Amino acid sequence: MALNSPTRCAAPLTRSVPPRSPLSFFNRTLPRPAFSTESPTARLVSVRCQTLTPDGVPSKRPVGLDESEASIGSSGSSSTSSAIDFLTLCHSLKTTKRKGWINHGIKGPESIADHMYRMALMSLIAGDVPGLNRERCIKIAIVHDIAEAIVGDITPSDGIPKAEKSRREQAALNEMCIVLGGGMRAEEIKELWAEYENNSSLEANLVKDFDKVEMILQALEYEIEHGKVLDEFFISTAGKFQTELGKSWAAEILSRRNSRVDKSHN
């Protein structure tokens, strides 16, 4: 619901106001270790804004978080401060390393953001597929692991049931969308994430395949770079591709891996 009077978060130029602390929705002093399975504690604080009276004079009454969020939601876009808060929270996607590679002794492995970025590139260069919305695939690829900014990279080795993993990620996603300030963009992120999680569209099917394709391509690259054998990643994805494009790209990667193995035996 929009506020009855316009809302302004900046201090009026003609009046002096005491300095305010920047918004800080999450207290994150140190990066959370990649092997942790616990979510960091989140703390939301009130947003202090000012409303204008009918004659244009700033009101002294602070606007609460709910009212600010309603105003943001009605305009369909997040405020500048909310956007930067959200992007700052997403920073950990760039620094959190993917746990599967850590568990296999890969030094300096890819981050969560590295993985999602190449998936987005896969969506961008995907050939024409009848009925496929490539732009939506790109969006899903960017969003599908975004909750890991809070919960981290939960893998099967953690022993966490799939339902519990999904619950944690859903809760984290909801917190992130609050930080973003709600509105149309936050709702779109939730929708894209749910679409992927439920595997409920052709686009989700393909991005699910790209998730596996990117992983086995990275596994092959690490085998070459580190001289390791990473059979586990190829075995765990075998027969699980849903789309013809995903199957063909996976087959090409496997073919290159097998050719390399054959050459090493000669």
Can you tell me the distance from the alpha carbon of 52 to that of 45, in angstroms, rounded to the nearest whole number? 22
Can you tell me the distance from the alpha carbon of 113 to that of 128, in angstroms, rounded to the nearest whole number? 26
Q: Report yes or no: 100 and 155 within 8 Å, Cβ to Cβ.
A: yes
**pLDDT tens readout for residues 52-93:** 444 554 444 443 434 444 444 444 444 999 999 999 999 999
| Higher per-residue pLDDT: 26 or 180 | 180
pLDDT of the residue at 66: 44
| Span 212-240, average pLDDT | 97
Instruction: Please name each of the domains of the chain with its CATH number.
Output: 80-262 (1.10.3210.10)
What ranges make up the beta strands (E) of 5-86?
7-8, 50-52, 58-62
Please determine, for residue 29, whether its predicted confidence score (pLDDT) is greater than 70: no
pLDDT of the residue at 265: 66
Tell me the two tokens of residue 37.
Answer: 């399975």
Name the average pLDDT for the chain. Answer: 80
**pLDDT tens readout for residues 119-162:** 999 999 998 899 999 999 999 999 999 999 999 999 988 999 99
Amino acid residing at 168: R
Tell me the two tokens of residue 29.
Answer: 């002093």
